[in-house]
Structure 1
Amino acid sequence: LAALVVPVGILHAGVKITAGHVPNEEATAAFAFKDVPRPVHGDAATGAKFAIVDGRRDANGAELDALHDGKLPAGDDEPSANFFFSAGTDGGRLLVDLGTKIDITHVNTYSWHSGTRGPQVYTLYGSAGDAPGFDMRPAGPTDPRSCGWTLIAAVDTRPKEGGGGGQHGVSIAGVDGALGAYRYLLFAVSRTEAADSFGNTFWSEIDVLDAASKDAAPVSAPVARREVVEAADGAFRIAIDTTDAPDLSDWAQKELAPVVKEWYPKIAAMLASKDFKPPAAVAITFSGTMRGVAATGGSRVTCAARWYRSNLKGEAKGSVVHELVHVVQQYGRARGGARPPGWLVEGIADYIRWFKYEPETRGAEIPPGRAAQARYDASYRVSANFIDWVVRTHAPDLVKTMNAALREGRYREDLWKELTGRTLE
């Protein structure tokens, strides 16, 4: 558990920064640091108003409430439990309105991610709101000091080497016990790296403490509920996490785990291609705040607990099979190729789901009244029907061939004629 105390002279006089880092392999949902206090609930930030002054919230992340709701992520890659700025942008600015001027003693910030989205890079400003020319919402590149703000501290917890994955906690305090009398706080947040689009920190919690915060209680760490499934004699490990939806734990263990154990290796075999190795470690996480059904990024599947609760006896397991296909596909923009057509990507996933995993449900069947209007590129179930028809009537190896072409960046529409003797149109 590393701790760093930044010399006072570098920053605003009378300010001390203590930064703690817990490596990802040692991190737990308790957010326990050696020298940085654990997150609390009932502090001055709990009832404060948070707003984005500059930048955009990433739609895959949590709302601003996640920064002061007293709830913490249970794992190292939970977009729906963390606030972060939009992918491909250089952070942004956050305004915290405490409602009235208070004597702040500490500002503590917390983040957690397994990679470069773990460290924190920001500059903190404070204002009572009564300075001449005060601008409550200074967007970049305006220097807040030019419009009534006081520089409090500059924070950068990135390591000299490595990505800095894990939990990061920062405590900004006054050396004499008082950080300053402020109503407003402004966080000018920067991304941690620009090598790719995913350099914006996963912010888990922001605490603001004053004398009245003495009764603030440490946030209770969620009880981890994780079922680890080993498949294909240990070649694959699939972790099913229901920490955020404990009522789904029994179903996940008794019904979903056997399906995952059997079908992930099957999907990997169906979508095999030269020199490709499917992800050996897969994470399936049920989120209590996610909207929609499910989404996959890399080897991580996130499922909306609300939808699954309503579909346990229907499409729940099949939808996870669909997402596991995406885990194995790993198409992206491989080797400089064009973006794979979405209808084909989703069509293959639904083909494996409806025509291989659960054909008896006939869930992809197109009603007779709609068959004449159905197009091959309508995606999902409709495209799955088209793929099934081509496999049965023209090209038994269609899925294997198209999968390899998509993964290797070789896909083009001419492949359909080469395989079937017919064009798509």
Structure 2
Amino acid sequence: MWIYEHTTKRRLFKTPVIISYQTIGTESVQSYLRECYEKKYWLMCDCTTPPAIMFLRRQSKDGEIVLVNHSQFGSHGAECEFYSSVKGSPREINFNGALVSAGEKRHHVQLYRNFTSDIPSAASPSSASSNSEMRIDSFIRLVWQLFEDSLTQLADISQPSPSELISLLKVRDAGQQVILCKQENLKKHLYVDAKGFGLLKSNMKKAHRLNSSRRHQSVLLLFATHLEFRNESLRLTTYKGEVFYIDNVRRKNIKINRFDLYDTPCLVALSFCYESPESKPEDLICIKWFAQPFVNLKFPILVHSNYEKIVIDYAIHFLSNYPDIHNPCLYKPLSAIVDNRTQKEFIPSFTVSFSQANKTRRFALFLQETEIENVYPDDTQFSNTFDSIEILKLYEIQTVETLKYRIRMILEDAINRLNL
């Protein structure tokens, strides 16, 4: 039995006491489990691969600590005394703590209801922005869709990269295919950069004056190198060094995985509306917003984790300097890729494609953060989509330099095996 730190997803050390059904009620084991409970440790049983996870629960009656199998990662070996029938695997793909629907695209969106209910204050709970459930908010899904449809998630290494503003305008153009509130395409209500925020406020004021019975809605996207949220005010610094404020931000940002506001540079996406028909035109409010890091300003590819940011940045650098490969492209999907033969799906950390002799080859890399992750794919299930799938076990790596070395080895091996 091992001690497992679930916040960092690390196996720490073996338990100094023997934990079994025969010993769990003894004072020595209970005393040790109480210490683990206070430190918020979990237990890892290596009766199977991947190891089974159990968390600790204090019984309300007598304070005894009991073991509970994790609903998704708590499947023990059949011969283990802690074996039970564990159910609860998600209907959606689990990726680094976030549940992402496979291939869902939205062609009609409505960010807010049309004045049918009051908008909660910042102190009020909200299922939409709750972090207790690891489901991805519909606003985040929408922005991800725009980034994928605009090919902003694709790094065509052989071509010059567009400027930061051009990248955002490409994302805005993708809104042409999405209808907002069953009336107009989203592009007309999607603004980019600091100057776009001024235009957004002007147009929203005008629209509210003309028809205050309708809840007008708009979206702002920009790249920030620094941001600070305090007292319903968001302070942003753009990549140009401009500093400006967005007031009346009613709630904290919607969380994505373990990111916080210090993970920059990042995309900042905000949605705006009016609280009621009686609101003054200048009383524009922001209810939903989130910040998500990207690789770099040259390639503003959104990432699901800081590990991905480091790995993709280095992979792009490596591929741009690797000889004898043609038209190398790196793609970071935000939703699942589905094999057209098996209909199996998964979200790789990134894919790499290149061509030689009029033939395109493609392989995928999956970053496995913990030993208990069992969602990584089988090559045979994606043979129609990828020539190979590489797995990088992050939990075995201690330093950034070692991580870069492993990435280099994986990329070189994959390229050599594909006979390039």
TM range (shorter): under 0.3
Instruction: Give me the TM-score of the superposition, normalised by structure 2.
Output: 0.28
Bigger share in helix: 1
